[in-house]
Each structure stands twice: as structure tokens, then as C-alpha cells.
Chains A and B, each alone.
Chain A
Amino acid sequence: ETGVTQSPTHLIKTRGQQVTLRCSSQSGHNTVSWYQQALGQGPQFIFQYYREEENGRGNFPPRFSGLQFPNYSSELNVNALELDDSALYLCASSLRQGILQETQYFGPGTRLLVL
């Protein structure tokens, strides 16, 4: 069974640029969530995708957008990068089965530095 993978592992961008981060879900999972973890804090929910549609969004501006593909892999896009976007970006996948409580499994993250 393949776990959650993310690419790239590290990335350096300058203010105003755009970035795309990628995530491959754990085999058999149909839901993907993205989190931002700033230094010294816990992960903060950005949004979640289920069956290729956004299924919940946290308190992040519209310049944070995402996609989920038919194979359940996902992308996080951030436009007009700001210095405060520097953080660890985590992808988590889970298997949604009706109303059953699901556990999210995390990838290793992408460390983004905005200069």
C-alpha cells in the first residue's frame, strides 16, 4: 500500500509569483485535504476535495485554490505569493464512506519559502 506523497519537498519563490504543489493520495482514498503549518503552530485547514469537488474551505483567501483529479491526486495553487505564505504545506488523504468517521493520513509536506 502506497502512502501519501507530495512534491516538491522544498521550494523557494519570490513575492508575487505563483506556485503549484502536488499530492498523491494513499491507495483507495477518495478525499484529500490541504493544511498550512506555520512555524511553531499546528496545521490549519485550507480546503478539502471529495470526488473532484471542493467540500469545505478554511479561512484562506481565494488566491489559494485547488484541484482533485479522477485518480484522486490533487494540486494546491497559490497565486500572488506573500511573505506570510512561507510555511509547510501538508496534504492528507482519507476514505469517505457515508457517515463513518474517517481518519486523515498525512504526506511529508512541502516546505515553501517566499522571499
Chain B
Amino acid sequence: DQQVKQNSPSLSVQEGRISILNCDYTNSMFDYFLWYKKYPAEGPTFLISISSIKDKNEDGRFTVFLNKSAKHLSLHIVPSQPGDSAVYFCAAREYGNKLVFGAGTILRVKS
């Protein structure tokens, strides 16, 4: 049973436009959410996080939105750049600091 789901396996966006990556979760006990970016042959790189007591967190071009009632999380990248092309993972923290990951979304930013 997948507790964290990224329903879009891939997303293609034009350079300069907005990229929106989505994530849904089922466990209401998750209290901390993170986004990681992964390039081939590298480990996941931390991008941005949000506590369950907030609904928005912004860091430069990256903004994460949390809708607790819908159990939905999204990552906005504005403006998108070709270097943003990677696999993006949504993760949620469970009791004991265990992270539960989604399956990832491949983002391609076309120049």
C-alpha cells in the first residue's frame, strides 16, 4: 500500500515556464514533507521542505504548497531551467524519522 503517491511519471515543460509537480499521501500522521531532486548516477539532493503546520514554503525559484485537508503536496518551479531536468521525489516523514518516498516524477525542461 503506497502511502505517498506521485501519479505523474513524467512532465515536460518549456524553459521559462512553471513546472508543477504533485504528490498525494494517505497517512495523516506525516508531520514533515520534503522534495528531493535526483540526477542519474547521483544520490537524491534535498530541495525544500515544509512542516505540517504550514501551508507554503518558498526558497528562490522553488515553492512547496501543502493542503492537509486534501492530503496533497505540490512543488512549483518558476521559472523552469534546463538544469532542472531530473527525477523529483516527494517524501514524507513518519514517526521515528523514517522517510516514505513516492516513486518519482521525471521532469524535462525543454530549451
Contacts and interface: CB of A to CB of B under 8 A. Distances in A.
A90 interface: yes
Contacts of B104: 41-42
Given A94-B97, A96-B97, A109-B42, 18 more contacts: A4-B43, A31-B97, A42-B89, A43-B44, A43-B101, A45-B98, A45-B99, A45-B100, A56-B97, A92-B99, A101-B31, A101-B32, A101-B51, A101-B93, A103-B46, A103-B49, A104-B97, A106-B43
Interface string A41-61: 111110010000001101000
A96 B93 CA distance: 14
Interface of A: 4, 6, 31, 33, 35, 40-45, 48, 55-56, 58, 90, 92, 94, 96, 101-109
B98 A106 contact: no
A73 to B, nearest CB: 16
28 contacts: A31-B97, A35-B99, A40-B103, A42-B4, A42-B89, A42-B102, A43-B101, A44-B101, A45-B98, A48-B96, A48-B97, A55-B97, A92-B43, A92-B99, A94-B97, A101-B32, A101-B93, A102-B97, A103-B34, A103-B46, A104-B34, A104-B46, A104-B97, A106-B45, A108-B41, A108-B43, A109-B42, A109-B43
